[in-house]
Chain A
Amino acid sequence: MTLAKKRAITAYVFLALPLVFFIGVRFGPMLYMMGRSLTDWSLLRKSNQFLGLANFAAVLGDPVFGKAMANTARYALVGAPIVIALSLAVALLLNGIARGKGLFRLIYVLPYITPVVAVSWVWRWMYQSPPMGLINRLLGALGLPAHAFINNPKEALYSILGVGIWVEMGYCVTIFLAGIQTIPQDCIEAARIDGASESRVLRSIILPLLMPITFFLAIMEGIQFLRIFTPVYNMSSQAMGGPLDSTKSAALYIYQTAFTKFEMGRAASASLILFAVIMVVTLVQVRFFDKKTNY
């Protein structure tokens, strides 16, 4: 056996272990779930029957699921672009300062490394109506009217989304900062010598070179917001995704179907629908950004 072959075998052996793990805890259950989505499997029932596509019809015909999907779209379509734009701006600013860079970076990354449950509850209390909520106390001190925030169906989703954005920014800023540091300084210097303005440097050098990272973050954050669960679960009263289902995400809908109604078959079909949506969205993003990153 040649050395190259031996090396290849070693590599395959090492790769096989995670593969077994992946098949066991990811693909296996996923295939099982696909099968179960076609049955009336309920945790409380001892036997179950084949239903065909009836679960999918029931889920798609459920107005609450429609609402949850619309909310999910809102989380992703509003959340992902904002978090990316804000993070990019913050990263560029952070890159420009000489002193206290480490401190600022730490401040931005802190929400991301804090458990989301704790973050959600602290924000939930800050959002409370007077006399308890910090934000409303501030508004009151400034003579402004109080806001219902998470108790108003029009404001609740965005109040929760704000927390999601605040948390995700820590991650995105870090990645952007790393990306900015990989941009060759000589390109920028050459441009400056040629008389390019700062905004021209940003538009023509920094932003295009950051495109692959922006692409990566757009996909990651898109997925992140499409499956948002923890902040919604912890910030809505009794984890119901209220008021009036206005904050319920698809992931929370699936959780409730599976673990409070015990309708596992129906929950499985709902998660397959969410899976399909995430896949399509990601594929579209890949196509869109693929053209942009070919420079």
Chain B
Amino acid sequence: MKRFRGIGLVLIVLMVLAAQAATAEQVKITYWQYFYQTKVELMDKLIAQFEAKNPDIKVEQVTFPYESYNQKVAASIPAGEGPDVINLFGGWLPMYVKANYLQELPKAAFPASYFKSTYYPFVADSVQFGGKYYSAPTAVRTLALIWNKKLFKEAGLDPNVPPKTLDELVAFSKKLSKYDAQGNLVQAGLAMQPNGQGHSYIREVLFRQFGAAPYDATGRKVTYNNANGVAAVQWYMDRIMKDKVGYPNFSTDDVTAFKAQLAAMNIDGSFRIATLKAVKDLEWGAAELPTYKGVKSNFASFWTHGIVAGVTGKKLDASVKFLKFITSPEAMEQWLAAVGELPANPKIGEKHKDDPYVSIFLKGLPYAHATAYVDEAGQRTLFVNMIDEINLKGSKTADVVATTAAQEQKLIDDFWK
């Protein structure tokens, strides 16, 4: 009896010691992302799964409203406080990499071959700076033409046949536009919103289809200031000014107009699938972006996760493990199901080729281009002003394209100097 008691005592002591050792070994890391209900809930689930697999790691998720997210991230730098792993928009990467905010992902866990084999080609190009990889995404987004089936029927069009070429798009949008007695547009055939997806559509789709690549291979030289580039912008302007099938800020913006069934067609991103599915009485379809002279193009963007500079030792190991987990195939599957964003890995995408919405957006990925922004807000504003300058002030398209190109070139030069 006494002997058993002795063993029991030793066991208890050992267990206490083991428990202490375990808590002492536990590493806590912090993950930051902006607040988007479905993303936050999914991340909570993923963290629970990750912690179950890695009992020695504890992950804390912190979120901020999208509007102030960049400010919070920037403000955390001088304060010297912040996350270990962070979710950033792909277009912001150059800014944060240049500021040495992110560290290069450890080569052992994330070699170049890993990016080549697991991601769509544009991803590897966009997260790499000077041969170093700085972040890895879970999901990506592309554009598609979305249309309102009810409004198609009303206009006497087959609700299941979307336009396939730019010429068809023009013809369809004219048929789908409605005007009141004074000639005001009351139903837009095609929404035109440069400060929404419009500026990306011009930049990465129309420019390329008209034969003017927006930038050179280094991404540092603006190359759309030529006859082809002017023709692409002119095509966009003709829809606003000549055909009058839509104009910027019609019914607040393109998304509001499409949801309110005041716009029959729009060019929008895959991140809108969940939003549009939730709108009552809205019957809509998605189609690949219309081609021009047989040329296809699409714009891809993504939110991506990186590890903040200054994270070392056990925290770095834990961050790498966490990053690997949230970019794993199982995380991508859950991300698609919960958030609706496309898997960044073509092999996972392949499994969803029968989904009526997802498959359409996926089709755009192999030929999509991601913009290497240096100042996403600044470059967007330049394109928005380009359209307004022609539309509202009647300036000549060629002149405005030339000044816009010069201004954008200066923005890029100032960034890299």
Interface string of B382-403 (1 = CB under 8 A from A): 0011001100110000000000
CB distance from B100 to the nearest CB of A (A): 8
Query: A195 at interface (Cβ–Cβ under 8 A)?
Result: no
Interface string of A111-144 (1 = CB under 8 A from B): 0000000000000110011111000100010010
Cβ contacts A to B, 24 pairs, < 8 Å: A43-B75, A43-B78, A44-B95, A128-B251, A129-B185, A130-B182, A130-B184, A131-B184, A131-B251, A132-B251, A132-B252, A132-B260, A132-B262, A140-B180, A140-B182, A146-B182, A146-B184, A151-B249, A152-B392, A237-B248, A238-B195, A240-B381, A242-B388, A244-B392
CB neighbours of B378 from chain A (8 A): 261
Taking A129-B184, A140-B184, A259-B71 as contacts, is the C-beta distance between A242 and B384 under 8 angstroms? yes
Query: B253 at interface (Cβ–Cβ under 8 A)?
Result: yes
Contact partner of A244 (CB less than 8 A), chosen from B77, B184, B393, is B393
Please state if A46 and B77 are interface contacts (CB–CB under 8 Å): yes
CB distance from A4 to the nearest CB of B (A): 49
Mark B residues whose CB is within 8 Å of A.
Answer: 70-71, 74-75, 77-78, 95-96, 99-101, 180-182, 184-186, 195, 248-253, 260, 262, 375, 377-378, 381, 384-385, 388-389, 392-393
Residue of A nearest to B376 (CB): A260
Contact partner of A131 (CB less than 8 A), chosen from B70, B262, B381, B392, is B262
In the bound assembly, the distance between CA atoms of A244 and B181 in angstroms comes to: 30
Known: A131-B180, A146-B184. 14 other contacts (CB 8 A): A43-B74, A44-B74, A44-B77, A45-B99, A46-B78, A128-B251, A130-B180, A131-B251, A136-B184, A140-B181, A153-B388, A237-B195, A237-B253, A240-B384
Residue of A nearest to B79 (CB): A43
Query: A145 at interface (Cβ–Cβ under 8 A)?
Result: yes
Please state if A145 and B392 are interface contacts (CB–CB under 8 Å): no
In the bound assembly, the distance between CA atoms of A261 and B101 in angstroms comes to: 16
In the bound assembly, the distance between CA atoms of A138 and B288 in angstroms comes to: 40
Please state if A130 and B186 are interface contacts (CB–CB under 8 Å): yes
CB neighbours of A151 from chain B (8 A): 248-249, 392
Taking A237-B249, A260-B70, A261-B378 as contacts, is the C-beta distance between A131 and B186 under 8 angstroms? yes
In the bound assembly, the distance between CA atoms of A45 and B251 in angstroms comes to: 40
Residue of B nearest to A256 (CB): B377
CB neighbours of A124 from chain B (8 A): 252
Please state if B388 and A243 are interface contacts (CB–CB under 8 Å): yes
In the bound assembly, the distance between CA atoms of A142 and B196 in angstroms comes to: 34
Contact partner of B392 (CB less than 8 A), chosen from A153, A238, A261, is A153
Residue of B nearest to A153 (CB): B392
Interface string of A229-259 (1 = CB under 8 A from B): 0000000011010111100000000000001
CB distance from A262 to the nearest CB of B (A): 5
Q: Which 6 A-B pairs have the closest CB atoms?
A: A44-B99, A43-B74, A130-B184, A131-B186, A243-B388, A132-B251
Mark A residues whose CB is within 8 Å of B.
Answer: 43-46, 124-125, 128-132, 136, 140, 143, 145-146, 151-153, 237-238, 240, 242-245, 259-262
CB neighbours of A140 from chain B (8 A): 180-182, 184
CB neighbours of B185 from chain A (8 A): 129-130
Please state if B252 and A243 are interface contacts (CB–CB under 8 Å): no
Residue of B nearest to A154 (CB): B392
CB neighbours of B70 from chain A (8 A): 260
CB neighbours of B392 from chain A (8 A): 151-153, 243-244
In the bound assembly, the distance between CA atoms of A128 and B253 in angstroms comes to: 10
CB distance from B378 to the nearest CB of A (A): 7
In the bound assembly, the distance between CA atoms of A242 and B386 in angstroms comes to: 12
In the bound assembly, the distance between CA atoms of A242 and B388 in angstroms comes to: 9
CB distance from A59 to the nearest CB of B (A): 15
CB distance from B188 to the nearest CB of A (A): 10
Please state if B99 and A244 are interface contacts (CB–CB under 8 Å): no
Please state if A244 and B377 are interface contacts (CB–CB under 8 Å): no
In the bound assembly, the distance between CA atoms of A206 and B360 in angstroms comes to: 73
In the bound assembly, the distance between CA atoms of A46 and B96 in angstroms comes to: 12
CB neighbours of B186 from chain A (8 A): 130-131
CB distance from A163 to the nearest CB of B (A): 17
CB distance from A248 to the nearest CB of B (A): 11
In the bound assembly, the distance between CA atoms of A129 and B385 in angstroms comes to: 20
In the bound assembly, the distance between CA atoms of A152 and B388 in angstroms comes to: 9
Please state if B182 and A125 are interface contacts (CB–CB under 8 Å): no
In the bound assembly, the distance between CA atoms of A132 and B252 in angstroms comes to: 9
Please state if B101 and A44 are interface contacts (CB–CB under 8 Å): yes
In the bound assembly, the distance between CA atoms of A143 and B180 in angstroms comes to: 11
Residue of A nearest to B387 (CB): A243
In the bound assembly, the distance between CA atoms of A90 and B252 in angstroms comes to: 34
In the bound assembly, the distance between CA atoms of A237 and B78 in angstroms comes to: 31
CB neighbours of B393 from chain A (8 A): 153, 244
Taking A151-B249, A240-B381 as contacts, is the C-beta distance between A262 and B74 under 8 angstroms? yes
In the bound assembly, the distance between CA atoms of A117 and B75 in angstroms comes to: 25
CB distance from A14 to the nearest CB of B (A): 35
CB distance from A141 to the nearest CB of B (A): 10
In the bound assembly, the distance between CA atoms of A130 and B188 in angstroms comes to: 11
Taking A131-B262, A132-B251, A132-B252 as contacts, is the C-beta distance between A44 and B96 under 8 angstroms? yes
CB distance from B83 to the nearest CB of A (A): 15
Please state if B250 and A244 are interface contacts (CB–CB under 8 Å): no
Taking A243-B392, A244-B385, A261-B378 as contacts, is the C-beta distance between A128 and B252 under 8 angstroms? yes
CB distance from B395 to the nearest CB of A (A): 10
CB distance from B364 to the nearest CB of A (A): 25
Contact partner of B385 (CB less than 8 A), chosen from A128, A131, A242, is A242
